[in-house]
A = this chain, B = another copy of it.
Amino acid sequence: MRLVHKYGGSSVATTEKIMAIAQRVAQLRREGTDMAVVCSAMGKTTNSLIALAKKVNDSPSKREMDALLSTGEIQTVSLMAMALQSLGVDAISMTGFQSGFITNDVHSKAFIKEINTQRMEQYLAEGKVVVAAGFQGITEDGHITTLGRGGSDTTAVAIAAKLGCPCEIYTDVDAVYTVDPRIYPAARALERISYEEMMEMASLGAGVLETRSVELAKKYGVSLYLGRALENEKKGTTIMSQQAFFEDMPVAGISIKEHCAIVSFPPMDYNASSAASIFSLIAGANINLDMINQNIVEGKVAFSFSCSDEQALELERQLNASQEGPALQIRRDLTQLSLVGVGMATHTGVAVRVFRTLAQYQIPYYQITTSEISISFTIDKENKEQAVQALAKEFDL
């Protein structure tokens, strides 16, 4: 049997934690499991490196930042391999380059083009535990890239997909909850959730798993488990295909995303070139769009989208520098709430219950978008807790 384990930064923050994880992996190996272990950088290493970079350059080049940040994961995996070796387990560390993660050249958020697992398969066949650096890859030209924050989850799932085995992601949270327990302490841990719901939760800010990793798991049918590192019982959440049992509940959880901004374009003439100019501007700034709204009023197009506060700032900087493009209106310090549930597809009236509840507490809401299994909207950040509590009560979360 093969298995991929992934340990996040807080789970490998100290050499003591690394040793404890090595003990556990060694046990599984001795029981006959072929193990691939993916690690993030230790604790706050990535943040420390970013702080160091900012000291020598206000806006460091992404190529150099990727080279710098990639060192964090390499340190963890070599230490993890050493720890396993000290327990008598044959183990070998692999950098992104060594584990064959070929990516495109979009530094700081690269996409995987290809994974050459030949070397990894060879090591597994030799009985070695493979310890692979998460988060990183290499372009065909040999430049070091990173997959973006949280990219180690993607590394782990991609390896599991290639090796055809389950992937267990260990982190500092117990499970996926119906609502962030820090904001709504009465929230419940979910034993199971569908890929689709988890993707909505992840992309909408639940923050426990990167969307891309869930998407990849769904695409390749990788069974995902999310739980707290080094807990004896499996109290975490299994992410699997959509099942009938989910349909009893219209809303599985509320996902909360902070530090959002809404960027609004002034009304423009409605023609193909105006739309093109908007999207080329967005593409140039490499912005991940969240919610998009477009209305056409009297032949003019009013376009707005939401993104992170940070990306809105970057966009503003670029526009000021280029002196071109429309004057944008940017509204910051918003919180986005999303209600997610595959049951929404069959239960009607969820949207009505949401907005009636908000109206009841006099909470203003801005952009709204909906999908088959989610309803999202932005509110002022100061209304976050009241809104979450009201909605969790309404939908029994």
Known: A68-B74, A74-B70, A97-B142. A52 touches B15 (CB 8 A): yes
**Which of A65, A68, A119, A143 has the most chain B CB atoms inside 10 A of its CB?**
A68
Contact between chains at A92 and B63 (CB < 8 Å): yes
Please tell me which stretch of A54-62, A169-177, A206-214 contacts chain B, meaning at least 4 of its Cβ atoms lie within 8 angstroms of it: A54-62
Residue of B nearest to A15 (CB): B55
With A68-B74, A86-B57: A79-B93 Cβ-Cβ less than 8 Å: no
Minimal beta-carbon separation of A26 from chain B (angstroms): 12
Given A19-B56, A52-B15, A55-B15, does the pair A68, B61 have CB atoms closer than 8 Å? no
Q: Count A-side interface residues using an 8 Å CB cutoff.
A: 40
B85 touches A75 (CB 8 A): no
B71 adjacent to A56 (CB under 8 Å) = no
Give residues 111-146 of A contacting B (CB, 8 Å).
Answer: 119, 142-144
A68 and B78 contact, CB distance less than 8 A? yes
Interface of chain A residues 33 through 80 with chain B (CB within 8 A): 49, 52-53, 55-58, 60-61, 63-65, 67-68, 70-72, 74-75, 77-79
**Shortest distance in angstroms between A19's beta carbon and chain B's nearest beta carbon?**
6
A83 at the interface (CB under 8 A from B): yes
| In the complex, A18 has a CB within 8 A of chain B | yes
Please tell me which one of the listed residues B56, B70, B72, B142 contacts residue A82 in the complex, with CB atoms under 8 A apart.
B56
Q: Contacts A93-B64, A97-B97: A57 and B82 contacting too (C-beta < 8 A)?
A: yes
| Contact assessment for B79 and A68 in the assembled complex, using a CB-CB cutoff below 8 Å | yes
Set B15, B18, B81, B98: member contacting A64, Cβ < 8 A: B81
Measured in the bound complex, the distance between the Cα atoms of B78 and A50 in whole Å is 11
**Most chain B CB neighbours (cut-off 10 Å) among A55, A67, A71, A86:** A67
A95 within 8 Å of B (CB atoms) = yes
Chain B residues closer than 8 Å to A57, beta-carbon distance: 82-83, 85-86
In contact, A60 and B85 (Cβ under 8 angstroms):
yes
A53 partner, pick from B64, B65, B79, B97, beta carbons under 8 A: B79
> Which of B61, B119, B144 contacts A95 (CB under 8 A)?
B144
The reply on A337 being an interface residue by CB < 8 A is: no
Is B75 touching A93 in the complex (CB atoms < 8 A)?
A: no
Count this chain's copies in the assembly.
2
User: What B residues does A63 contact at CB under 8 A?
Assistant: 92
Residue of B nearest to A133 (CB): B67
Check B52 against A65 for contact (C-beta < 8 Å).
Answer: no
> Taking the complex as formed, is A4 at the interface, i.e. its CB lies under 8 A from any CB of chain B?
no
Set of chain B residues within 8 Å of A92, measured between Cβ atoms: 63-64
| A55 surroundings in chain B (CB, below 8 A) | 15, 19
User: Once the chains are docked, how many angstroms separate the CA of A61 from the CA of B80?
Assistant: 12
Residues of B contacting A98 in the complex (Cβ-Cβ under 8 angstroms): 142-143
Q: Are B70 and A56 in contact (CB under 8 A)?
A: no
Neighbour of A15 across the interface among B56, B58, B68, B97, CB < 8 A? B56
CB A49 to nearest CB in B, in angstroms, measures 7
| CB-contacts of A141-160 with B (<8 A) | 142-144
Q: A18-B56, A63-B92, A64-B93 are in contact. Are A71 and B75 (CB under 8 A)?
A: yes
Contacts of A67 in B (CB 8 A): 74, 77-78, 81, 93, 95
Task: Give A335 to B143 CA distance when docked, in angstroms.
Answer: 46
Of the A-B pairs whose beta carbons lie under 8 Å apart in the complex, a sample of 16, sorted by A's number, is A18-B56, A22-B56, A52-B79, A53-B78, A53-B79, A53-B82, A56-B86, A60-B82, A61-B81, A64-B92, A67-B74, A67-B78, A67-B93, A71-B72, A95-B144, A119-B142
Closest 4 A/B residue pairs (Cβ):
A71-B71, A57-B86, A68-B78, A56-B83
Task: Add 9 more A-B contacts to A63-B92, A98-B142, A119-B142 (CB < 8 A).
Answer: A53-B78, A57-B83, A57-B85, A61-B81, A67-B74, A68-B75, A71-B74, A95-B144, A97-B142
